């Protein structure tokens, strides 16, 4: 019987003899490669934390002790060790989440899969337990070196370091990567720690010498401890952490379970904040992942585990179309620069970076810094293009509002993975951006309906010198080209029975323009006259769209965004202010967090399919 099959919880992990742990680690890696290749998911990060997670569950008694995983995409091993072995529907409707989930297990705490938050969570949990008198309960935060580039992590460190009696352990899982290699001063600092392990090696040599030759061993070991900080700073300069007030242990080989376990026990028993620096290798145990220098199989679709190749060819996605459009614009604009927050490849900047390496800035997981830096670049005469996932713009709203918009900075924001993304779950759906950006004075927003509209929007956006512009698109393949039958001012008319009055003006935003055309066909078959339009620039609401509404009996807006405060609400307000008294029907994402599932499943559940929208509108138009 496989060892893994006998693991139903952390007690079973702790009961294993140390000599069985390498076998367990091997079985876990085999399981992950086999299962994740069938479902897709975060493979590389989990292969890298196998021994570390085993050691965590042998030293700390979850759930009485709390383990907080930063970002959470590396929690698959944790799921296995807490009794969740059914990975057959990982990230699918009704199956396991790709991140920690309180609904799945009492061992999971933080469901938010946004980075750099674990230290703040752990600080709060540990302080709450101290106030409750529960000093025998420990709190552990596991944070990667990539997430440690985020400013929020350093705000937490500043506060944690001031605590002298807080039983809190910070594990820095240092694999030199986030999606891709970690960049910045912190990366350089950790690299220095990685390559100067002389102090611990000196102590180890002294201990070994002590067992063989007591006189020499005692002299060496005593001298090492007697020199203390001077020697330690000379051969392992971890002074930054210890000068903050954090006890530093490491660096430790994160694939040596015994060494990690012993170090974690020391940290647990220390009684105040301790930082344990663990060195791991992303993709460990899977040669194909290790050979991939780009992202080491950070996240994969369904793949052939023997070759690492995808089982289905996805074709060109929106990100590819943006990459090509950016290259075309950049060829004529020397002032164009790009900014990414540790996601250069996922947001389509690889080719731009190869062609224009001095015009790309990777700031690490620091969206706030990225946006305010963009305002500074604009002030300096450049036009920055800030490329982030739509869900991560939430983290930089204040900077967008107060640094870019207030100062009339010409900055273009390109939001990848907008709308319903599906399998990554609640925290990754890009369903908030149009509501948030709709509050920003002067901002221009475009949700292109196809690849041609994306290229046109980008070329127009970088010509705006005095306001932020936003272009958003999904993670899917772009729909087939949807040409306009005519233009009415700035508005593209996609379908209509003829010029003149209609029963319904149907406004389709982004990919839902295609849905809107299908809805119109269904309503037309039921005797309705429908005009379908794409405003191209959704915000501000154009006077041309308002004029078209004057000749309609009703208006409906379809958007892949939160229906509350979305573009539909802005259209309704614009019509009210223009005294166009027609009913406005809003169709978008409801104000709740969405469970993980495929995009199609989620859209069907929330009623954003052609049949569901057509039925709802037919009932309202009666």
Annotated binding site for Mg(2+): 145, 175
Q: Do the beta carbons of residue 274 and residue 241 sit within 8 Å?
A: no
Clarify whether 306 is annotated catalytic.
Answer: no
Q: Considering the candidates 58, 91, 395, 528, report the single residue annotated as catalytic.
A: 395
Rg (CA), the chain: 27
Torsion, Cα of 79, 81, 83, 86 (10° steps): 50
**How far is 150 from 120, CA to CA, in rounded Å?**
12
Give the count of beta carbons closer than 10 Å to the beta carbon of residue 412: 27
Clarify whether 395 is annotated catalytic.
Answer: yes
What's the sign of the alpha-carbon dihedral 443, 449, 453, 455? positive
Q: Considering the candidates 84, 282, 359, 417, report the single residue annotated as catalytic.
A: 282
Complete edge-to-edge strand list for the sheet that includes strand 66-69: 66-69, 139-144, 168-174, 274-279, 247-253
Q: Which positions make up the binding site for thiamine diphosphate?
A: 73, 113-115, 146-147, 175, 286, 367
**How far is 109 from 86, CA to CA, in rounded Å?**
20
Clarify whether 266 is annotated catalytic.
Answer: no
> What residues have CB less than 8 Å from 447, skipping those under 6 apart?
418, 434, 471, 472, 473, 509, 510, 511, 538, 559, 560
Q: Which positions make up the binding site?
A: 73, 113-115, 145-147, 175, 286, 367
Residue listed under structure tokens 């080491």: 296
E-assigned strand segments in 392-490: 412-416, 444-446, 469-472, 486-488
Backbone angles phi, psi at 583, to 5 degrees: -65, 140
> What residues have CB less than 8 Å from 227, skipping those under 6 apart?
none
- The 8-class DSSP code of residue 404 comes to I
Among the listed residues 320, 325, 356, 323, the one whose alpha carbon sits nearest the alpha carbon of residue 459: 325
Q: Which residues pair with 177 in a beta bridge?
A: 181
Torsion, Cα of 442, 560, 491, 515 (10° steps): 180
What residues act catalytically? 282, 367, 395
């Amino acid at each position: 019987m496989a060892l893994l099959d006998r693991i139903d919880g952390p007690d079973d992990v702790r009961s294993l003899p140390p000599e069985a742990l390498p076998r367990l680690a091997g079985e876990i890696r085999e399981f992950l490669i086999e299962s994740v290749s069938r479902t897709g998911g975060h493979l590389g990060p989990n292969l890298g934390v196998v021994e570390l997670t085993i050691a965590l569950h042998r030293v700390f008694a979850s759930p009485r002790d709390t383990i907080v995983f930063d970002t959470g995409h590396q929690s698959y091993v944790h799921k296995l060790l807490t009794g969740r072995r059914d990975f057959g529907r990982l990230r699918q409707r009704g199956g396991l989440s790709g991140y920690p989930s309180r609904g799945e297990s009492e061992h999971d705490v933080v469901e938010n899969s946004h980075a750099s938050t674990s230290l703040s969570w752990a600080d709060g949990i540990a302080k709450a337990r101290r106030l409750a008198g529960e000093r025998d309960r420990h709190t552990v935060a596991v944070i990667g070196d990539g997430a440690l580039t985020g400013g929020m992590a350093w705000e937490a460190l500043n506060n944690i370091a001031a605590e002298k009696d807080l039983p809190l352990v910070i594990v820095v899982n240092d694999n030199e990567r986030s999606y891709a290699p970690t960049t910045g001063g912190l990366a350089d600092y950790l690299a220095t720690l990685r390559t100067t392990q002389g102090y611990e090696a000196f102590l180890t040599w002294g201990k070994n010498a002590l067992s063989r030759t007591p006189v020499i061993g005692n002299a060496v070991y005593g001298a090492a401890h007697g020199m203390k900080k001077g020697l330690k700073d000379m051969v392992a300069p971890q002074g930054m952490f210890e000068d903050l007030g954090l006890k530093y242990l490491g660096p430790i080989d994160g694939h040596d379970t015994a060494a990690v376990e012993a170090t974690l026990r020391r940290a647990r028993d220390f009684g105040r904040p301790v930082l344990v620096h663990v060195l791991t290798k992303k993709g460990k145990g899977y040669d194909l992942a290790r050979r991939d220098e780009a992202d080491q199989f950070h996240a994969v679709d369904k793949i052939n585990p023997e070759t690492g190749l995808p089982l289905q060819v996805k074709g060109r996605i929106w990100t590819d179309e943006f990459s090509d459009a950016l290259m075309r614009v950049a060829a004529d604009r020397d002032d164009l620069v790009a900014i990414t927050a540790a996601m250069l490849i996922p947001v389509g900047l690889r080719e731009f970076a190869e062609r224009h390496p001095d015009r790309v800035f990777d700031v690490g997981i620091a969206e706030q810094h990225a946006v305010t830096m963009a305002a500074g670049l604009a002030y300096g005469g450049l036009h920055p293009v800030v490329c982030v996932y739509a869900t991560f713009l939430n983290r930089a709203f204040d900077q967008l509002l107060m640094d870019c918009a207030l100062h009339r900075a010409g900055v273009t924001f390109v939001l990848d993975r907008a709308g319903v993304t599906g399998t990554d779950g609640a925290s990754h759906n890009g369903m908030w951006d149009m509501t948030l950006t709709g509050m920003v004075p002067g901002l221009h927003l475009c949700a292109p309906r196809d690849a041609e509209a994306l290229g046109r929007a980008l070329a127009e956006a970088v010509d705006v010198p005095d306001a932020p512009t936003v272009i958003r698109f999904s993670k899917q393949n772009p729909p087939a080209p949807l040409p306009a039958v005519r233009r009415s001012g700035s508005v593209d008319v996609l379908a209509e029975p003829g010029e003149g009055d209609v029963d319904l003006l149907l406004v389709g935003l982004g990919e839902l323009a295609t849905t809107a055309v299908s809805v119109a066909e269904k309503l037309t078959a039921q005797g309705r006259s429908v005009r379908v339009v794409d405003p191209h620039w959704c915000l501000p609401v154009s006077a041309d769209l308002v004029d078209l509404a004057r000749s309609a009996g009703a208006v409906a807006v379809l958007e892949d965004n939160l229906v509350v405060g979305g573009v539909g609400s802005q259209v309704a307000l614009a019509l009210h202010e223009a005294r166009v008294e027609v009913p406005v029907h809003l169709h978008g994402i409801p104000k709740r967090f969405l469970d993980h599932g495929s995009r199609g499943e989620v859209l069907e559940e929330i009623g954003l399919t052609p049949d569901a929208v057509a039925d709802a509108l037919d009932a309202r138009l009666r």
